[in-house]
Structure 1
Amino acid sequence: MRWVTEEQDELEETTKRTIQAVIIDMSNLMNIDTSGILVLEELHKKLASNGIELVMASPRWQVIHKLKSAKLLDRIGKGCVYLSVAEAMEACLTSKFAALSNC
C-alpha cells in the first residue's frame, strides 16, 4: 500500500494524473486461506478509501471458490475479476473502465 501511495503522490506532482486501479496477477496463487483473504479485504478497503479500484486477474477456480465463500467477491465486485492480466489492463485503459465503478 505504501508503494501505491508514494506512486500516487509522485504522479500527482508531475502529471496531475492519479492511479485508478491496482491489478493483482493471481495466476501463481494456487490456493488462499483466511489470512490471505483478510489481507485482500484490507487492501481493498485501503485502496477504496483512496479512490482506487482493486482488480484481480487470472485467479484459479480454487481461489475464486474461497473468495465467494468468504463473500469477498461480493464486496470487491465480480466485475473486477478478469481471466488475464491483459484483459484487466484493457478494461482499465479503455471505456470498459467506467464499468469498474460498480466494483
Structure 2
Amino acid sequence: MFRYRTGANPAGRVIAMIADVMALILGLWILLYLLDANRANRLVQFVHDAATWLAGWSLHLFALDQAWAQVVVGYGLAAVVYLFVGHAIANRMGHRH
C-alpha cells in the first residue's frame, strides 16, 4: 500500500500509518460534506463523528462566513497537523540507532 521511510523501526511505521488513517478520515468527511452526503446514513454518521472527535481542537479556530469553508479549514487543518506531526515523529524514530 504505502511505503514509509522510517528506517527499520516498526513503531515509526505504525505511527505514520495511524497519522495517515486519521488524515484519511478527516479528508473523507470533508469530501462527504462537500458532496452533501446523506447524514442519515450510518457510514456518513460514523465518519462525521470520528472526524469531529479528531478535529475537536481545530473546528472553530477561525470564524468563516461560509459553512463549507468552515468545514474545509477546521477539519483540513487537523488533517495537515496530524500528517505533519505523525510523520515527523515516525521519521525521528527511524533515525535513532
> The TM-score by the shorter chain falls in which range?
0.3 to 0.5
Q: Which has the higher helix share?
A: 2
Q: Normalising to structure 1: TM-score of the pair?
A: 0.34
Q: Normalising to structure 2: TM-score of the pair?
A: 0.35
Higher relative contact order (CA closer than 8 Å, sequence separation 6+): 2
Q: Which has the higher strand share?
A: 1
